[in-house]
Every structure is written in C-alpha cells, then in structure tokens.
Chains A and B, each alone.
Chain A
Amino acid sequence: NRMKRARARHKPCALKELEVSVSELGLGYESDETVLFRYCSGTCDTAVRNYDLSLKSVRSKRRIRKEKVRARPCCRPLSYDDDVSFLDAYNRYYTVNELSAKECGCV
C-alpha cells in the first residue's frame, strides 16, 4: 500500500480533473453549480535541464545568495480552458476565464 502511494506521488506531470462546486473555488462566488476543474499534477524529474543542474551548483557554491531561485522544473498549465459561465445563488450570471488547465507541462 505504501508502495502504491509512493508510486502515485511520483507520477509524471499530467492533467487531472475534479468535479467541484463554484463556491469551493474560493473566488468569492456563491453558487451550487458544479464545474469541471482540470489541474496539473505530477513530478518533473525527467524534465531536469542543464539549466537546473547548473543553477543548483552555482547556488551551492554560494554565488547566488539573496535572490529567490528555483532549480527544478515545475508542473504547470501550458494553456487554459475556455471560459466557464454559471448562475449564482442570487440569479446573476458570471463568466470566469482561465479557470481550468487545458494542457500541462514541466516548465
């Protein structure tokens, strides 16, 4: 079981989806309407570039000290889904853009 969980944690970066209510999105809208929320999840171990290795090395030699840098690729949306519209609890329509991921990648 632990093995299964470990393997799940190390899945490569990919698009996943979840049914959530609009209220759960935390954007301040009050609505019971359900939307499909697609997000990016997974590791980027195989996408490490020479950039990441070099940055890590330079940082460890304390050549970069005060700045915030990230020396590993990150699983993020490459593009976003179309707009999502819904009716809220007060019968007003709203449209939200860039809510859901369309394509994921290690950047």
Chain B
Amino acid sequence: MEILMSILAGILFATAIYNLLQKQLLRIIIGTVLLSHGAHLFILTMGQLKTGKPPIIVEGVEQYTDPLPQALILTSIVISFGVTSLLLVLSYRASKLNESDNMEELRGSEHE
C-alpha cells in the first residue's frame, strides 16, 4: 500500500512540476495545489499505513492509526489553503494591472 501511495505522490509531484513550469499563471497555481496534495499524501504515507481504528479513544479498541501525521497534515492543509487563496487574489490583481497572465511577459525591466 505504501508503494502505491508513494507512486501516486510521485505522479502528483511530476504533474505539479510540469504545471509550475508553464507560462500561464493559472496553470502555475494549479501546479502549486497539486504539489501540496502530493506533499500531504506523502506525510500520510510516511507515517505508515497500518490498518487500525481512527485515533479516537474508544473502549475495547487496541489498534489505532498514527495520529501525529494527521495533525501535521491538517496544519499543513490550512497553511497551504491560506497561501493559495492569497496567491489567487494576487494573480488576479497582478494580471489585471499588468494586463497579462503570461509569465514570459511579467518579467524584465521595460514595464516598470
């Protein structure tokens, strides 16, 4: 199971990097979202995917899954959610002001 998840995370990373290297701004943002998905899946996998009950203490349950990676993922999710929403607003403003969403055109010093 861990191997499958690792491959999946790897595919997510690969698509994320491919999208990050595109010219269109929205594609780049989609790339960052895919990248954070990959990273979060990866934390879950690295905490080992043993079969067990959800980490809520109930009478008579012996085997729980590891609660720490889940807490780490939850923290990381809200952080990347915050950054992504900032990034979306920023790119909206930037593309409106600069009248372009092409990263090739958003560089150099001629339009300062």
- Co-assembled chains A and B: no
Interface residues of A (CB under 8 A from B): none
B residues lining the A interface (CB < 8 Å): none
